[in-house]
Amino acid sequence: MNKTICGLLLIFVLGSCGSLPQPESRIGVIDYTPLIKAGIFVTESNSVNFDYTAVGSIIATEKGGWINGRPKRPTTEDALKNIIKELERMGANGIINLNIIPSVEMSDDLMSKVFVSVITVKGMAIKIPDSKLKKVPDENSRLLGQVDGIQCRIAKKYNNGMTICTSKELTPEQIKKAKDLFSLKGKIMFNLEGAEGKGEAYAGIDDGFIIIYKNNEFIKM
């Protein structure tokens, strides 16, 4: 009798062990590169060691659902894209105390009564003085050198040319020097440092001419 009971207990224990979850390791990475490339300072800390102006709390929510009968899960990338747009609208260039919270909640659709995955991203939007904000160079950015003490760097490359940022405006003669010194080819746009994102070129090279945009002057190379 005792042997029978022990045998049954052993079978029960072995069967139970087979249904228990196995140990596993997981790792997840949240990529802040989209924020950094947009020129936005980001930290999960609730304090920083420089002056800033608080703009307001910001919250972005992404909910999962179904499209044409297929499930679509929410992504952190979509939430960060919306965060970037809202920060730009608010005139903010930083976010502190960033929190990313995954959860599950009942769908707003009262007819379906199903649970959906949710990702919530929230933090405090701040305005940092430009002098305190560390600029992250674009992956295409490259320092060219100097022309008469004026620093020149490639800000953007294109298939048919590039945009060059200069610390001061180059004269037509200095532009000719830059073309020869740096072997510039194609369509070239010259912007002052800090103005490259505004499309405010002060001069350019195109089709064998130097173009001075403020007076629409064409100077043959």
Beta-carbon contacts of residue 146 (< 8 Å; ≥ 6 apart) = 152
List the one residue out of 149, 142, 154 whose CA is nearest residue 169.
Answer: 149
Q: 6 vs 32, which has greater pLDDT?
A: 32
pLDDT digits (tens, 9 = 90+) for 182-219: 888 889 999 987 765 556 789 999 988 999 988 888 99
Q: What confidence tier does 133 reach under pLDDT thresholds 50, 70, 90?
A: low
* Rounded Cα distance, 220 and 180, in Å: 15
Where residue 59 falls among pLDDT bands split at 50, 70, 90?
A: very high
> Which residues belong to CATH 3.30.110.70 in the chain?
33-127
Residues 6+ apart with CB under 8 A from 69: none
Q: Which two tokens stand for residue 156?
A: 């953007």
Coil vs helix vs strand at 15: helix
Cβ-Cβ contacts under 8 Å for 110 (sequence gap 6 or more): none
Longest dimension (CA), the chain: 109
Residue 124 banded pLDDT, cuts 50, 70, 90: very high
d(CA 6, CA 122): 56
Nearest partner of 211 among 186, 188, 194, judged by Cα:
188
User: Looking at residue 139, what is its pLDDT?
Assistant: 47
Separation between Cα atoms, residue 150 and residue 203, nearest integer Å = 15
Average pLDDT over residues 81-100: 90
- Give the span between the Cα atoms of 218 and 204, in whole angstroms: 10
3.20.20.140, 3.30.110.70, 3.90.1640.30, 3.40.50.360: CATH of 33-127: 3.30.110.70
Dump pLDDT digits (tens) for 153-171.
Answer: 888 888 888 899 888 899 9
